[in-house]
Structure 1
Amino acid sequence: MKRILSTTRGRVAASIAAVLALLLLAYGMPTLALAGEVPPSTDAGGVDIGGLSPEAARARLEEEFGRPGPLKVEVAGRTVTMKPKDLGVTLDAGTTVARAMDGHTTPAGIARSLFGTRTVPPVVEVDDELLGERIAALAKRVDRKPQEGAIAYRGLEPKVTLPKAGRALDRKEAARAIREAFLARRDEVTLPVRTTPPSVPAAKVKEIAGSTARTAVAAPLTLSAGDRRATLSPAQLAAHLRFVPDGRGDMRPSFDAAELVDGLRDTLVEEDRRPRNAAFRIAGGRPRVVPHRAGRDIDPDGLAKAVAAALTGGERAVRVPIVEAQPDLTTAKARRLGVKEKVGSYTTQHPCCAPRVTNIHRIAEIVDGHLVLPGQTFSLNGLVGRRDRARGFVEAPMIMNGRFVNDVGGGVSQFATTMFNAVFFGGFQDVQHTPHQFYISRYPAGRESTVSFPQPDFRWRNDSPYGVLIKTSYTNTSITVQFWSTKRWDIESESSGRYNVKDFRKMKDSGPDCLPMEGVPGFAIDVWRIFKKGGKVVRKQRFHTVYQPEPRLTCTART
């Protein structure tokens, strides 16, 4: 009996051993076969790397993901071509292969390798900072802020500028789209752009234009400062008023008071209480600073806010804010301007007592004492304005359309010529000067300028770091312009001979407004302004002038 049991146990043990041997053989053989290789039927982002060594799998992935080449990025109708690596997007082939081989020698891994497929997402490295920079650069070329609506006026009629939507690159979605395009091995991608609406819709802008904006300029606005009163007419209101978005989906009035303050100051602020700029006077042959005076003045920003608040509240009266104020040019600023010596001066002569002399004297009086700050451009027309009888100008001859005619302010070109030469010898920048059409013998040839209103103007720029004080003086037969500042240059003038000389023609006219012309040949001439410092030439500037022949015009009496 014991022998039978022993035999049976032996057979069972042998059977178990055989089964274990078969299992070990079934597991061991694939394990040995798959050792060191990517499992069969392994897919990484659509690339079959099954059965390859890790090195070969990495090479295949790098080849396949590099095959599409540069990525065409389309956004808002624009296309740019960029390499994925320049976008900060690259494939980590080594990590991808390592993940494909992870656990492939376990029983479950062996079974999956023998009887199924294996899908491994590619591992993509993204340099978020670099990708963000590239997308931001694209956004600069694409993004367009919404154009907000506005209401201005043409006369008293509201003029509407309708709003327009903007657009913006969706940066977060753009990064996602670029990454997905890389994973899918596509060679192009379209980035999403979203619409950005204006803060106030067009319907609302039109509504305000038809109601609130019309009411705002329907009547005058009364301004008060203490017991003084002034009025802003509807036209003045409209000229400086706009309606703009308020940031809360509505529109508010915006009033620009800066240009109105000068006109209101005379009415609303006593003269002896206003600030006064520092000034200069010549004493003992030297410029002296006349100290400034502080005072009280209209606050432009405060007035703008007060007017806007009144219009918002439907009121027609505004209290004007008057504040303590310093003048634009204080004593300290004036002393730092370097106005200390004469740097340019010129005098021209003229016959006594003609009407044109009155005009020359009048324009000299207006310009006398004017200060041109560093970097400023002086405009003769901008300072003097239109010459008219109300300010003492009279009719005198001037050149117009090739003939002498009488006009109010005629003759002031002699002042422009005198100032041009002060600019010339002071070493300042010529911005705009226009020589006369005909040569006039009392002026230096090629070194003179005409002027009329509004054009041609005479302009020059103070290109020095110092202030320039203009002083004028005159006699019955001369006009002088002086510049006081800090000397920078020694200036000399050289002229060519006259060339391309053209003779004049002879004419007759019996008209009642005929003014005779003596006849002067035309010619061309070159003048050089020579800048010297310490006796050495620093540079030269050429002025080329062409004069037309002045006809000899004889005025004949009508028969």
Structure 2
Amino acid sequence: MRVPRSRRWMFIPAGVILAAVLAYTVPAIALGGKVPPGTQVDGVDIGGLQPEAARARLEQELNERVRQPMTLIAAGKRKKLTPAELGFGFDAGATIEAAMAGATTPTGIARSLFGSRRLAPTITVDEQRLTAGLTALAKSVDRKPTEGGIRYKGLEPQAKLPKAGRALDLEAAARSVRTAFAAGGASAEVDVRVKPPALTAEVVREAVSTTARTAVASPVTLASGGKKATVTREQLAAGLRFVSDGKGGLRPSFASSEVPAELAKTLVTTPPKDASFKIVGGKPRVVPSRPGRGVEVKALGPALAKAAVADGRRVDLPAAERQPRVTTAAAKKMGVKEKVGSFTSQFPCCAPRVTNIHRIAEIVDGYVVRPGETFSLNDVVGKRDKARGFVEAPMILNNRFVNDVGGGVSQFATTMFNAVFFGGFEDVQHRAHQFYISRYPAGRESTVSFPQPDFRWRNDSSHGVLIKTSYTSTSVTVDFWSTKRYEIESQSSERYNVKPIKSIKDSGDECIPMEGVEGFTIDVWRIFKKDGEVVRKQRFNTVYDPEPRLTCEK
């Protein structure tokens, strides 16, 4: 039977539609539930895989990437951090969802059959870790501006010009690092901001030629309580500085620590007296303190700074009551009750150095070191000078004996060092003599000069320490009174690394002969005991140079 032509045309669209349906349905069924073929994420092929398999592959490959270091570059500084340390990661699940979105649409089916797809992974960022990582970089990059200022060399003002600083721009840096990581880069250059100083070079230069010169053009007079003290131009310049005021200008500054000690003493009407102790019947008894009156030392610095730029060159300061360093009440609570350390050293009679040993012993006698306080021999005694009774005597300088005011006081320093040693207190700073001196215990001695080397020790106990000194024509003794904590023993090694004596000759009126002593190294152990049990050992290692045998020729 023949179908009419008009009805045949009715079957043609139906066939096309059926073919189209089959062309969509068959691939849709075949690809259903899988990642479309040809899908790549950051170079990782996950096409045709089930979502869980695709996720596992992505996590393995992408997690390796977050463990590869990135180099962060800022102002020439480089710091390597892994993306993981910076808080970066990948969300594999979200990435798979994005890959499968639209996969069953006709367009998606067509792309799966005839094309490919490249996707960027979904990135996660822990903002706190990113900020912490960039802050660590900033520590090596950031630099505060140098404000500059003026100080003096002699009486001549010297300019220190300001310099700009820099700081890592954290927000811009975070953006740069995100972009670099997303692009798969192995490095990221991050932005640095310039931090200008408040001062300008022009302000400093102008002040050098005007204000700074005028400031030291003449002496300054300080007055208080009927007493006057003149601050010389040299003394003024030694402590005066011009520093940034933070507003683009300069202001004068004079640190109270730079005020000459004799200047402060001149303006003291009545010096305060510390509480101390006297030994009565073998027991310490408190000697009361007494307040003083005079200018507070901390007020002198600001006063001198103000006077340096004022029209007048005189400053009147009020006198105030000055409290002692150790009050009577404090002394009574210090637990000073028994002798805890003592040492005596010997010396030949009647040499000039003996005068210096006696004088320094007198100055230190009765001094009380508070709990936790560090005792400095140079701070307490000050510069040795003839005005206070010190005389010239030999001392070691530049490998030779020379005469100097205060020579020989190292004998007292050595004696005190041994009192510290056997008292069980903390050694803070001591330096052995360059050459071994036979009247001192090897490895247990200390030299001292002014201002360095100093001899310092700390009262690391919870009790006060009273220093009592005494002397004869051939010995000096230092006793420490406090509350006993330890029994102390000393042990010494044999001398080793022995070095021979060299013979040399010299001439001149100032040549002082030297007998010559071998150099050597020695170890000394301080052994702390409580109730007969060793609780701690401390080693002191001392190296002595060989003292040359010096012959002085006329």
Q: State the TM-score, normalizing by the size of structure 2.
A: 0.74
Rounded Cα–Cα distance in structure 1 between residues aligned with 2:493 and 2:46: 88
Give RMSD over aligned pairs. Answer: 5.2
For residue 337 of structure 1, the aligned residue among 334, 337, 358 is 334
Q: CA deviation at 1:258?
A: 3.4
Paired residue type of 1:284: G
Paired residue type of 2:466: L
Aligned pair 1:74/2:72, yes or no? yes
The SS at the match of 1:70 is coil
Gaps of 5+ in 2: 1-5
Q: CA deviation at 1:224?
A: 3.9
Q: Do the aligned partners of 1:489 and 1:532 also contact (CA within 8 Å) in 2?
A: yes
Q: Residues 63-462 of structure 1 correspond to what in structure 2 (within 5 A)?
A: 70-76=68-74, 77-103=76-102, 122-225=121-224, 228-260=227-259, 262-271=261-270, 275-294=272-291, 296-309=293-306, 316-320=313-317, 322-323=319-320, 325-347=322-344, 357-374=354-371, 378=375, 380=377, 383-385=380-382, 387-394=384-391, 415-416=412-413, 418-428=415-425, 431-434=430-433, 437=436, 439=438, 443=439, 446=442, 453-454=449-450, 459=455, 461-462=457-458
The SS at the match of 1:434 is coil
Rounded Cα–Cα distance in structure 2 between residues aligned with 1:93 and 1:467: 69
* Residue 30 of structure 1: aligned partner: 24
1:18-61 CA distance string (max 9 Å, x none) = 97996687478536634545668878778887777655765676
Q: Do the aligned partners of 1:435 and 1:449 also contact (CA within 8 Å) in 2?
A: no
Is 276-285 or 353-362 further displaced after alignment? 353-362
1:327-363 CA distance string (max 9 Å, x none) = 3323333334332212233445667666555444333
Aligned pair 1:482/2:476, yes or no? no
* Residue 471 of structure 1: aligned partner: 468
Rounded Cα–Cα distance in structure 1 between residues aligned with 2:124 and 2:378: 68
Rounded Cα–Cα distance in structure 1 between residues aligned with 2:361 and 2:94: 87
Gaps of 5+ in 1: 1-10
Alpha-carbon spacing, 1:278–1:159, altered in 2? closer, same or farther (3 Å) = same
Rounded Cα–Cα distance in structure 2 between residues aligned with 1:509 and 1:207: 53
The SS at the match of 2:84 is helix
Rounded Cα–Cα distance in structure 1 between residues aligned with 2:173 and 2:499: 73
Is 466-475 or 309-318 further displaced after alignment? 309-318
Alpha-carbon spacing, 1:551–1:231, altered in 2? closer, same or farther (3 Å) = closer
Is 235-244 or 410-419 further displaced after alignment? 410-419
Q: CA deviation at 1:82?
A: 3.9
Rounded Cα–Cα distance in structure 1 between residues aligned with 2:237 and 2:383: 25
Rounded Cα–Cα distance in structure 2 between residues aligned with 1:477 and 1:310: 51
Q: CA deviation at 1:286?
A: 1.9
Rounded Cα–Cα distance in structure 2 between residues aligned with 1:373 and 1:291: 16
Q: Do the aligned partners of 1:438 and 1:547 also contact (CA within 8 Å) in 2?
A: no
Alpha-carbon spacing, 1:121–1:259, altered in 2? closer, same or farther (3 Å) = same
Rounded Cα–Cα distance in structure 1 between residues aligned with 2:507 and 2:177: 86
Q: Residues 512-551 of structure 1 correspond to what in structure 2 (within 5 A)?
A: 531-536=528-533, 539=537
Rounded Cα–Cα distance in structure 1 between residues aligned with 2:542 and 2:353: 28
Is 491-500 or 52-61 further displaced after alignment? 491-500
Is 340-349 or 311-320 further displaced after alignment? 311-320
Paired residue type of 1:73: T
Q: CA deviation at 1:75?
A: 0.8
Rounded Cα–Cα distance in structure 1 between residues aligned with 2:146 and 2:424: 47
Q: CA deviation at 1:256?
A: 1.0
Task: Pick the structure with greater CA Rg.
Answer: 1
Q: Do the aligned partners of 2:72 and 2:81 also contact (CA within 8 Å) in 1?
A: no
Rounded Cα–Cα distance in structure 2 between residues aligned with 1:124 and 1:323: 70
Is 400-409 or 380-389 further displaced after alignment? 400-409
Q: Do the aligned partners of 2:165 and 2:194 also contact (CA within 8 Å) in 1?
A: yes
Q: Do the aligned partners of 2:447 and 2:455 also contact (CA within 8 Å) in 1?
A: no
